[in-house]
Amino acid sequence: MKFIDEAKIEVIAGDGGNGVASFCREKFRPFGGPDGGDGGKGGSIWAEADRNINTLVDFRYSKLHKAKDGENGRGSDCYGKGADDITLRMPVGTLITDINSGEVIADLTEHGQTVLLAKGGEGGWGNIHFKTSTNRAPRQKTDGKPGERRELRLELKLLADVGLLGMPNAGKSTFITAVSNAKPKIADYPFTTLHPNLGVVRVSHEKSFVIADIPGLIEGAAEGAGLGHQFLRHLQRTRLLLHIVDLAPFDEAVDPVKEAKAIVKELKKYDESLFDKPRWLVLNKLDVVPEDERKKRVKDFIKRFGWKGPVFEISALTREGCEELIIAIYEHLAEQRQQEQRAEETQMAEEARGIVSIDPDDPRFKMID
């Protein structure tokens, strides 16, 4: 499988160098005093988001990342050299979690974003730091501190505005090919798509959005059937889900309504927040349905499925209805962004004025009779 979206690694920062207890032994300086230098700092390990990297394949085969230790101090007031830091470049959209504690260390959502994974140990002190008026020949020194050591889980969640959802062979790959620059594999058998695909949809020269296609779900995915829930994480960052349904399956015994309900059921099993995302119904492959039967078949499907949200009728193969759908998607995304921007501006204005929201049920604000 070309697309690697999960990996486990171990990062070990370098230890700090030890301080040294040393005394000056130069000629004509019989009482030169202490001159032991400090140890150098151990190397730290950082993560940096890079939009030029698409998968975590480098970390699937390179699991251990260790920085060098700092050098020990030396006499003649010489300090040990600090070790260089290591920077691990990861795809934008990577979620980094500590395996042992379960703590989310970072969510790399922007290009160039950096985060400290393991801090290098501080260097120890030499005996020059312990010289006092009453202790002119100190022999104390301290050892360097050990660097941090962590076991991390890396999960890549694609950053897309729109996610495609549907059974295998519903026409998701054909749709993303028709509306974007993505070129996924297309064939007349199930599970043609084995890894997620990203495509940029251009509404105009300056207007665009990103769409993600994941392998199809089947009933029982929660129990490991098909490709299971392996790739559903890539839909968690999307703003809108398109539930694509094959309205004219090759096998006449297949019921599109039953398949659509199975998809919704599996989505809810996986994540309630994903289930609650805005979701549009896209009825595909209308080119296979005779024109005089289309309205009846669409109406029957919507009624049996119990759908009350937005519905779009398309043919991804002939691109019929695709342009209207793309424009509607862009307008929906633009409205969402405006609402989020207004909410953010309102919050910033309230913080600037020092406004604090008060809960009327808080007992501290009850009126005293």
Do both 169 and 308 map to the same domain?
yes
Q: Output the pLDDT for position 11.
A: 95
Q: Which of 110, 134, 156 is the last residue of a domain?
A: 156
State the Cα angle at 333 between 280 and 267, rounded to 5°.
40
Q: Which of 96, 124, 156 is the last residue of a domain?
A: 156
Residue 97 counted as an annotated binding residue:
no
Q: Which of 135, 156, 177 is the last residue of a domain?
A: 156
197 within 8 A of 215, measured Cβ to Cβ? no
- Helix and strand numbers (H, E) in the chain are 6, 14
Residue 17 counted as an annotated binding residue:
no
Residue 214 counted as an annotated binding residue:
yes
Residue 170 counted as an annotated binding residue:
yes
Residue 173 counted as an annotated binding residue:
yes
Do both 230 and 140 map to the same domain?
no
Q: Output the pLDDT for position 182.
A: 59
Q: Output the pLDDT for position 281.
A: 92
Share of the chain above pLDDT 70, in %: 85
Residue 287 counted as an annotated binding residue:
yes
> What is the C-alpha separation between 158 and 151, in angstroms, rounded?
23
> What is the C-alpha separation between 195 and 57, in angstroms, rounded?
13
Does residue 184 fall inside a structural domain? yes
Do both 209 and 137 map to the same domain?
no
Residue 168 counted as an annotated binding residue:
yes
Torsion angle, CA of 317/321/322/323, rounded to 10 degrees?
A: 140
Residue 285 counted as an annotated binding residue:
yes
Residue 194 counted as an annotated binding residue:
yes
Q: Output the pLDDT for position 43.
A: 95
Model confidence, pTM: 0.64
Q: Output the pLDDT for position 349.
A: 82
* CB proximity list for 349: less than 8 A, separation 6 or greater: none
Q: Output the pLDDT for position 269.
A: 79
Does residue 303 fall inside a structural domain? yes
What total of structural domains would you count in the chain? 2
Residue 141 counted as an annotated binding residue:
no
For position 45, which CATH number holds? 2.70.210.12
Residues of the chain with pLDDT under 50: 1, 185, 187-193, 221-228, 368-369
For position 186, which CATH number holds? 3.40.50.300
Residue 286 counted as an annotated binding residue:
yes
Residue 91 counted as an annotated binding residue:
no
Q: Output the pLDDT for position 86.
A: 94
Range of the domain at 330: 162-335
